[in-house]
Structure 1
Amino acid sequence: MPHFVILLAGRMAPTDELRGLIEGARVIAADDGIRHAVGLGLSPELWVGDFDSAPGEPPIALAGVRRETFDRDKDKTDGELAIEAAITLGATRLTLVGALGGPRSDHAFAHFILALRYRRAGLDIALCDGAESAFPLSDEPRLFDLAPGTQFSVLKFSAVTGLTIEGAKWPLTDVDLPFTSILTQSNEAAGPIRVSVRKGDAILLSQADPTVR
């Protein structure tokens, strides 16, 4: 399963967990996401974007990275271009690093939308920054190995049908929720949890630190 890491410009904490998750993956950087490469000990094979936010030159260690430059006035984000490049190179699994947080909330929201889009297309996709992780949900039950006490939420991007959450302080079984419901905000894992949604668009967002409230 070809695994690609996409480096984006949001926040990033270089934790051991994050390093383990991306170990051995191929790497593509999107614009200012290149700044995370050195901190994670990564060598991108490609650097894409309009370079409106990236440094003029990358660190010396990354000076040889191949670039693909796009016009600033375009109809795709730099992150989207990086994902498409990875797919062209054969990616079936994607980890978006730096997709959460950052100076612009609209970018984080766009990354959630992209994750849902490419999950529908059949890719295994996750968004991780060392502090939080996010995973698109589907009708196939998925096990998340969370420590007891870990806070998590299910973020909905539509009405959902048949939402099931097992192993949580507040479990749900085959529940239908309108888009406007926030019932699934701030749940707590009792240990590993299993989550699925029969119909609708939703993402599980979990905290890396089980003490975060």
Structure 2
Amino acid sequence: MAKAMRFSRRQLAICLREFVLSSNEVVIIANGPEPKNRVVQRVLTDESFVIAADGGLRHCRALNRLPNVVIGDLDSVLSQPIDGIPREMFLEVHDQNRTDIQKALDFAVKLKPKRIHLLAALGARHDHTLSNVLILNRFDEIPLYMWDDYGCFYGINAGGHTLECRSGETVSLFSLTGVTGIDLSGFEFTPRESEFSAGFNGVSNRALEDKPRISFTSGRLIVYEQKWREQ
């Protein structure tokens, strides 16, 4: 039977106190390939509240950044030195039906941040990568940005959206469930139809202006913004 996530009042009090002093943004560092410095510099600040998803602790150490909390079944952590991190900041959660990233997201939601960034979650095993990207199709409680070495994925619900990208940047759109009433403004390519069927892949569109707009009346889109082209 899956074990529910539990933590002591002391753990909650410490995390909430540290989160209040943070930038109101959570950065989850997973156990995938090491993120490039340009990504870290863009996402991680001195004020970020950092959650290491189990083996993501190794990236925290490489960055010389102690996490505020370490979450997971901790199988990848037990072999690592833990000096400098209070023992109560290790949250052990055994649930074979949820990945360590999902456990970290569950905890992050409790903090009610304005946004969540996820690093080192893409690019290793393809099944893990796909599983993580699919989280974006159903996670809509708090804006979640999933970064790779070139840019980020995020999900948007029906409505009007102004993208935080610049003219010339590449933008890809994916619809897993179908989207209706689609309208794009400020892009090189616009759809001939007002609907995207389930499984639609609109890869490598290009923004013709800063902050292009997307609107649609139903469904959910996964957006990818490419921020860097070079290796």
**TM-score interval for Structure 1 and Structure 2 normalised by the shorter chain:** 0.7 to 0.9
Contact 1:151 1:210 in 2 (8 A): no
Residue 30 of structure 1, CA deviation: 0.4
Residue 18 of structure 1, CA deviation: 4.0
Residue 161 of structure 1, CA deviation: 0.9
> What is the aligned partner in structure 1 of residue 135 from structure 2?
114
Root mean square deviation, CA, Å: 2.6
CA distance in 2, matches of 1:132, 1:74: 30
CA distance in 2, matches of 1:170, 1:208: 19
Which amino acid in structure 1 is aligned with residue 131 of structure 2?
A: A
CA distance in 2, matches of 1:187, 1:173: 14
Residue 75 of structure 1, CA deviation: 1.2
> What is the aligned partner in structure 1 of residue 32 from structure 2?
10
Question: What is the count of residue pairs matched by the alignment?
Answer: 205
Match of 1:124 among 112, 127, 143: 143
- Helix, strand or coil: the match of 2:213? strand
Any stretches of 5+ residues in structure 2 without a counterpart? 1-22
Match of 1:26 among 42, 45, 49: 49
Residue 186 of structure 1, CA deviation: 1.8
> What is the aligned partner in structure 1 of residue 68 from structure 2?
45
> Which aligned pairs between 1:46-195 and structure 2 lie closer than 5 A?
46-54=69-77, 56-58=79-81, 63-64=85-86, 66-71=89-94, 74-102=96-124, 104-119=125-140, 121=141, 123-172=142-191, 175-182=194-201, 184-192=202-210, 193-195=212-214
Contact 1:18 1:129 in 2 (8 A): no
Residue 40 of structure 1, CA deviation: 4.2
TM-score, length-normalised on structure 2? Answer: 0.76
CA distance in 1, matches of 2:50, 2:97: 23
Which amino acid in structure 2 is aligned with residue 156 of structure 1?
A: S
Which amino acid in structure 1 is aligned with residue 100 of structure 2?
A: D
Structure (1/2) with the larger strand percentage: 1
TM-score, length-normalised on structure 1? Answer: 0.81
CA distance in 1, matches of 2:215, 2:65: 33
Contact 1:156 1:203 in 2 (8 A): yes
Residue 156 of structure 1, CA deviation: 1.5
